[in-house]
Structure formats: structure tokens, C-alpha cells
Amino acid sequence: MAFEAPSTPLDELPAWKELQAHADQLRGRSLADLFADDPGREEAMHIEAEGMYFDFAKQRATPETIGLLVELARQAGLPERIEAMFAGEKINVSEGRSVLHVALRAPEGEKIDDASGHDVVPDVREVLGRMATFSDEVRSGGWKGATGKRIRNVVNIGIGGSDLGPAMATIALTDYTDPEMRFAFVSNIDGSDFHDKTRHFDPAETLFIVVSKTFTTLETLTNARTARDWIVSALGEDAVERHFVAVSTNEKGVEEFGIDPANMFGFWEWVGGRYSMDSAVGLSLMVAIGPGRFDEMLAGFHAMDEHLRSAPLEKNLPVIFGLLSVWNTSVLDCPTVAVLPYAQELSRFPAYLQQLEMESNGKHVMLDGQPVRWATAPVLWGEPGTNGQHAFYQMIHQGTEIVPSEFIGFSEPLHPLGEHHDMLIANMFAQSEALAFGRSAEELEKAGSPPEQVAHRVCEGGRPSTTILIDGPLTPRALGSLISLYEHRVLTEGVCWGIDSFDQWGVELGKVLATRLIEELTEQQPPPPDHDASTVALVRRYRGLRGRAT
């Protein structure tokens, strides 16, 4: 059965109108009031699933709010959309594609069909098997460079989803990587990125993994050609096939580059870039942590996928997470979200989530092409604790903008050094408490605060947050479940907002203009400029500073 987009916009759903009225009733009630009025609030407003304790009692919501949000999800067709995704229906409406990243972590023997009725799981498992064979060969020293030296440096060249996912996960799982090897990720077209990442590497011991579905991505191919020149200048033309492999679907382009197609790892059109790190795009990660650990991560992804599909909406962790985001963004008018992992290993997790959230749901039209009439896709940002506490928490506590916050912590440290971990988690709990309940003038006066400081030291509270406390330390499985949680939160948001979370047309225009401008900046006799006056002036200024005719 073909996917049919729902026809009723968000603001015409009965539950939406009830939520607006409900929000008016809650205005003026503090979080302290909500806790005082409901002794069972914490019990009603947490979910335990897949090794996570998901505490949303400090959100500016009540159990009644959650009930209305769940009804909104039903009226928006979320259960049907979840099933449509798993059934391979083309829920990526504007591109006419299935959305089957859940198949990337399906265990062997499970059946997931694409829109044509083809079971894609055997295809996925075949590529994973080839990846495992290759990874073991590199990790064991069996794969040698052109001079016979073993590979000790692996450099992933990609951008966007071909970089952020594997880079974030490799940093997150550093403790599980081969200590005899080094891993780097080059994405920026700025030449400093390539230079800085490779300056201490021996070309004879370096392997490049070029990740580009089409093998035409401007930034990736520019960096790949620079890497090729770097290898050829040191080792000769024949060295290319021993120092490059590709993750792509463009066999001809890969072969023309000089990479043996036997060393090309493919993926499929139903894998969006920002949902692809558990496909062949994660080859660098598999080399880093080994196939066994990679499988553990896939199992974590799959466990959360199954929870999404089987848990009732009111106890469904990613669904409630997404509905709270809709509540904060579209009802309470909170335009940003802070992601605050209290785990240094997750230092790149906020950056990864920026693409996942904002490229997915930063849309201005609905599935039917009509303009959106409500806020979508909050600006997502953050840093690991406790660093952020000495940077931007001042604004979260006392600024004029309400910033919903998401705290992520682990019950066990990877490195049990003295009392470090207890102090870290104490800070995480303290910040969520302080944001929720604040500190009044009366409390400050009673504590003896100088009168002239009282107004400046007051924290109003009422700042919403969610805390995700994960059992044990950060493991590959825990990371997989955490990523899957956020992936399905994005799905939940997009269904409620009535938008296509799986296309990304907004990045196209800039690429088109950049291609034209490259010629205008570099050609000896450039074509006449066809831009606004500001851009023309910038082009002339740049050419003049570079000693080119203006």
C-alpha cells in the first residue's frame, strides 16, 4: 500500500486546540507549584526503557499535558507513520523514497521490505560482512600499504552525515579503539583541515576512506584529490589502490579515481546521510572499534527501534521525547534546546544532533507543500558538562530566553578516578534542580545575602529540563540506543508538525551558487558576475586581494 500523507494540519487537530487552552491554564504556575500539587508527579513522569531512566518531571507540563500530547500524536497519525516506515513505504514524500535506516541494524533473519517488496536485510548483512572482513584485515596488519608497512592511520574523508556520525562515535568510543592506531576525520574544504589532520602522519602508514554516495560531493572530492596528491607525491601513482577505499554507489567515479571497485562499500537511496553512520558510512568506526563492538552498537540501535514499534505511546520513550519537543517549541515558544552530556566522550554529540534535528525538521512547508503555520526545529546546541557551566549556563539560569535543557549522564564512569564521577553527576543533578526551582529573594535574604546583591542573585526557576540517566558506563550498545532515541524523536516531531523529516532541499541552493562562484573567483577571465551588488563587490575585493584581474 502506498503511503498517503495525512490531510489535516496540526493547528486543525482537536488535540492541538485543547493543548493551547491547557497551556493557558498552566501559565503562571511554577514547577514548584506543579510538584507541590502532585505528590505522584515523578512516578507518573518518567520512563524506564533499554537501560535508560528518562525523567521528564522537570518539564513545564503535567500528566494531563502528556495525555493531550499523546492524543495529538494519534490524531496526527504517528502510529501509522511508524508502521509505514518499517514497511518500506515512501514516507520521504518529496523524493519518493523509503526511509529504512532501521534496516541497517536489523539482525540477520529479520525481514524488512523496501517499497518494491524486496527484502533489504540480506543486502545490509552482506555489506556488513564485507566491512567486517576488511576491518579485521586492517586491524590485524594484514592490509598493508604500498611499501609493505601496516596501516596505523585511518582518515575518513566526508562531510555532513558522511563525517559527523562516524567522527562523533569514534570520539565517544575512544576507549574501545585500537590504541596502536590513530583516526582522523577531514570534512571542511578549508585546506587547514586536511593539513592539520595529516601533518604528523606517515603516508606509507595512512589509509583514506572516501565517503560520498554520489562520489561527486564538492568538498569531499576536493579533499580526496588533495589526499591522492599527498599519497602520490610520497609513494607514487601505483600506491593509490593500497591507500584508498571508498564508500559510495558510483562505481565508475570510484574506479576513475583509482580505487579498485572491489574496495568500494555501497549503501542505498533509502539511507539518508544523517541516518547513515550504522551503514558502510561507519566503516572508519568499525575499523576503530572492531566488528564485534560495531555489532554491539547495532544491537543498541535495534533495541530502541523495537521499543519504538512495540511500546504504547504513553510509555514510548522516543515518542514522549518528541512530543515534549513539540510542546516546548510550538506551544510554549521556546526556540532553542541545550543538549548537555555529562560525559566528555560525547563532546561531539551536540554537533551530531544539530544536523539530525535541524536538517531533518528545519522546514517551512508541510508534506503537501503548503506553508507551515507553527514553529518547527528548535536551534540545538550544547557542550559537555561541567565545561558549559562556566560558559553559557548563566544565560540558561537568568537570561530572558527560556531554554529547555537535556541532561545526559551515565551511572558508571569509563575511568574511575577518585570521586570524579560522583562530582560530575552531582553537578548534573544540581543543575537540573536549580533550573527548575531557582532561588528566591526571600531565600537569599534569609541566607544573609547583601541587600544590594539580592536582585542580581535571584534565579527565577521554571526552566524546563529532561534528564537521561543511562545504566552503566558509555558502551557501544548504549551509544546505539541513545542515537536511535534521538532519531525517532525527530520522526515524532516531524509527524506532528506535518513536515518531511527526510529530505534536505535547503542545502541545494548554496551549493549551486558556490559552483558558479568558484569559477568567478579563480578564472583568469571570469564570466560577467550575475549577483547582487554586495556579492559582486565581495568577488571583486577577493580577486583584487589575490592579485587577479577585477
Co-location of 480 and 516 in the same domain? no
- Asked, for residue 258, whether it belongs to a domain, the answer is yes
Dihedral of CA 485/27/20/333: which sign? negative
Active-site residue 90, yes or no?
A: no
- Asked, for residue 214, whether it belongs to a domain, the answer is yes
Active-site residue 511, yes or no?
A: yes
Pairwise CA distance, residues 388 & 122, whole Å: 44
Co-location of 285 and 141 in the same domain? yes
Co-location of 410 and 540 in the same domain? no
- Asked, for residue 298, whether it belongs to a domain, the answer is no
| Annotated active-site residue in 17, 118, 390, 456 | 390
Active-site residue 443, yes or no?
A: no
Length of the chain: 550
**Under 8 Å CB-to-CB from 17, ≥6 apart: which residues?**
11
Residues of the chain falling short of pLDDT 50: 1
CATH classification of the domain holding 195 = 3.40.50.10490
Query: In angstroms, how far is CA 68 from the centroid of its own chain?
Result: 28
Pairwise CA distance, residues 348 & 355, whole Å: 12
Co-location of 527 and 378 in the same domain? no
Q: Give the per-residue pLDDT at 549.
A: 87
Q: Give the per-residue pLDDT at 529.
A: 77
Pairwise CA distance, residues 97 & 120, whole Å: 14
**Under 8 Å CB-to-CB from 444, ≥6 apart: which residues?**
453, 454, 457, 458
* Residue 473 burial by Cβ neighbours in a 10 Å radius (0-12, 13-18, 19+): middle
Pairwise CA distance, residues 257 & 211, whole Å: 13
- Report pTM: 0.96
Co-location of 230 and 165 in the same domain? yes
Q: Give the per-residue pLDDT at 2.
A: 62
Count of structural domains, the chain: 3
Residue range 198-219, pLDDT digits in tens: 999 999 999 999 999 999 899 9
| Annotated active-site residue in 89, 205, 357, 359 | 359
Closest of 126, 127, 185 to residue 154, by C-alpha: 185
- Give the Cα-Cα-Cα angle 464, 468, 472 (nearest 5 degrees): 160
Co-location of 480 and 523 in the same domain? no
Q: What is the DSSP string of 353-419?
A: HHIIIIIHH--SB-TTSPBP-S--S-EEE---TTGGGGTTHHHHHHSSS---EEEEEESS-SS--TT
Can you give the three-state secondary structure of 283-331, one letter per residue?
Answer: HHHHHHHCHHHHHHHHHHHHHHHHHHHHCCHHHCHHHHHHHHHHHHHHH
Pairwise CA distance, residues 19 & 70, whole Å: 11
- Asked, for residue 329, whether it belongs to a domain, the answer is no
Residue 45: CA count within 13 A, CB half-sphere:
24
Query: In angstroms, how far is CA 286 from the centroid of its own chain?
Result: 18
Full residue range of the structural domain in which residue 173 is found:
121-293
Looking at 293, 326, 350, which one is the last position of a domain?
293
Co-location of 234 and 157 in the same domain? yes
Pairwise CA distance, residues 278 & 300, whole Å: 11
Pairwise CA distance, residues 306 & 106, whole Å: 10
Pairwise CA distance, residues 388 & 394, whole Å: 9
- Asked, for residue 501, whether it belongs to a domain, the answer is no
**Mean pLDDT of the residues in the chain:** 96
| Annotated active-site residue in 118, 195, 315, 511 | 511
- Asked, for residue 268, whether it belongs to a domain, the answer is yes
**DSSP bridge pairs for 246:** 210, 264
Is the distance from CB of 81 to CB of 93 less than 8 angstroms? no
Co-location of 275 and 148 in the same domain? yes
Q: Which residue has the cell 531512566?
A: 53
